[in-house]
């Protein structure tokens, strides 16, 4: 009897050992999430519309010349066909992401005379319903954009009509505490899972075309709240992702700093004490594909010290070209990120695109992979150190820089990149701080 019990125990230990060995040998599945930004769906877009009238009117010119394609036009915002195809493609590629990060700018690029509060709210509502319709039961973490307002770009401290209405609209996927801070300033934080937190910031407060907060040092107390939220996250041993619409630093496409001068560096300094817990930032707004390195101390770059932070800017869905600025349009883009579900670090991203020029000719929207980040940058993951290596590769090899510039507008044909263009591309990546950027332009 004693021998039998010993045999049974031995058998149990063997089974347990085999199970543990099997579990350890099975690699953990990486997490994935979509980043949706700058859709700018134009509900008035019409096939045959005059591109000089934003494809919203059929004019004498567009009647007798070929008007806008139903698929889209580089001088206009997103058509319904382009919008629908993008979501159908996302579902085809990854229908069950862990969550969706959505960084705003839903209404079309229209003058204030063509907009009102009702149309802006309807645009945000339409996009909210569209995302929830294609991705039911998937958590959504949104941020407010500069076009998600009326008048456009003008967002002041709450409570106000915008924050109150959007907070109610987004209440199904935000906690009560998040709704309260959103009503005050359009910002919030959510604990995604144990040890993993997302902080969504309203960076429109600092945007260079927003005049509502010019005489304030900390609109809606957002930076003070951010500091306390990061301190609490640090004490709790959490990893943090930062999301927002307008990024700090220099806009390489429009040759201008995105933030008002008094806000840019202060915003960046807000993260300096917590780089050990912040994995990365994600933004939209510029409609371009790029990234930015940043440092706890803005002078660290002088000694070639590795960066402590990384910001990723995803390109837009809209191909819209600003006709009043000397900048190229872009092809429509979509981005799927991959991350480690244990450490919450960013591993890779897949940049998808569609060639709008070819689409218009063929009458068919053909989404495809443009590039994979780790393959193009020749790196192992998307950590700040790895992206610093990516920067050094771009800086040292001209062909890599030119390809990076080509991807900047989602493979839209460029006129090349002269020495000034190269300086701006490199300096905007390496130096989000004001002084560092200006010095970089002179040094290179």
Contacts of 128 (CB under 8 A, 6+ apart): 142, 169, 170
**C-alpha atoms less than 13 angstroms from C-alpha of 169 in its C-beta half-sphere:** 24
Binding residues: 38, 40, 105, 146, 245, 285, 287
Distance CA 433, CA 437 (A): 6
Distance CA 179, CA 33 (A): 23
Are 382 and 348 in contact, with CB atoms under 8 Å apart? yes
For tokens 């390496």, name the residue: 430
Distance CA 422, CA 419 (A): 5
DSSP structure class, residue 325: S
Question: What's the CA dihedral at 44, 45, 48, 50 to 10 degrees?
Answer: 90
Binding residues for Zn(2+): 38, 40, 105, 146, 245, 285, 287
Residue 97 tokens read as 């992401």
Are 354 and 71 in contact, with CB atoms under 8 Å apart? no
Distance CA 396, CA 409 (A): 21
348 pairs with which residues across the strands?
338
Are 150 and 112 in contact, with CB atoms under 8 Å apart? yes
For tokens 């590795």, name the residue: 306
Query: Is there a cis peptide before residue 151, judged by omega within 30 degrees of 0?
Result: yes
Residue 152 tokens read as 């456009």
Give which of 62, 58, 100, 39 is closest to 287, Cα–Cα: 39
Are 295 and 305 in contact, with CB atoms under 8 Å apart? yes
- DSSP helix/strand/coil, 302: helix
Residue 151 tokens read as 């008048």
Distance CA 329, CA 334 (A): 16
């Amino acid at each position: 009897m004693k021998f039998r019990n010993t045999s049974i125990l031995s058998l149990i230990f063997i089974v347990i050992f085999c199970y543990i060995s099997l579990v350890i040998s099975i690699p953990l599945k990486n997490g994935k999430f979509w980043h949706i930004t700058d859709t700018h769906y134009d509900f008035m877009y019409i096939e045959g519309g005059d591109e000089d009238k934003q494809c919203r009117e059929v004019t004498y010119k567009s009647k007798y010349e070929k008007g806008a394609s139903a698929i889209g036009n580089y001088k206009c915002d997103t058509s319904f066909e382009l919008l629908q195809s993008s979501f159908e493609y996302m579902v085809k590629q990854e229908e069950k992401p862990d969550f969706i990060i959505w960084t705003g700018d839903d209404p079309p690029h229209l003058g204030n005379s063509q907009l009102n509060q009702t149309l802006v709210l309807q645009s945000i509502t339409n996009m909210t319903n569209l995302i929830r319709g294609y991705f039911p039961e998937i958590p959504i973490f949104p941020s407010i954009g500069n076009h998600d307002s009326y008048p456009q770009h003008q967002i002041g401290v709450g409570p106000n009509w915008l924050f109150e209405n959007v907070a109610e609209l987004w209440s199904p996927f935000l906690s009560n505490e998040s709704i309260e801070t959103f009503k005050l300033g359009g910002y919030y934080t959510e604990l995604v899972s144990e040890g993993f937190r997302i902080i969504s910031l309203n960076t429109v407060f600092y945007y260079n075309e927003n005049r509502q907060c010019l005489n304030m040092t900390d609109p809606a107390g957002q930076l003070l709240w951010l500091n306390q939220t990061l301190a609490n996250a640090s004490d709790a041993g959490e990893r943090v992702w930062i999301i927002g619409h307008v990024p700090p630093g220099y806009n390489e496409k429009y040759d201008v700093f995105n933030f008002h001068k008094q806000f840019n560096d202060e915003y960046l300094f807000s993260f300096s004490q917590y780089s050990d817990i912040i994995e990365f930032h994600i933004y939209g707004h510029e409609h371009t594909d790029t990234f930015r390195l940043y440092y706890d101390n803005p002078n660290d770059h002088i000694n070639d010290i590795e960066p402590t932070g990384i910001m990723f800017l995803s390109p837009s869905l809209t191909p819209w070209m600003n006709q009043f600025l000397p900048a190229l349009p872009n092809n429509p883009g979509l981005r799927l990120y991959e991350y480690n579900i244990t450490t919450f670090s960013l591993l890779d991203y897949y940049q998808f695109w569609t060639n709008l020029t070819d689409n218009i000719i063929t009458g068919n929207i053909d989404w495809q992979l443009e590039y994979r980040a780790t393959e193009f940058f020749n790196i192992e993951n998307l950590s700040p150190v790895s992206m610093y290596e990516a920067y050094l590769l771009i800086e040292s090899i001209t062909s890599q820089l030119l390809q990076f510039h080509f991807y900047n507008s989602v493979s839209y044909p460029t006129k090349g990149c002269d020495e000034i263009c190269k300086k701006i591309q490199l300096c905007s990546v390496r130096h989000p701080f004001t002084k560092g950027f200006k010095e970089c332009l002179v040094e290179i």
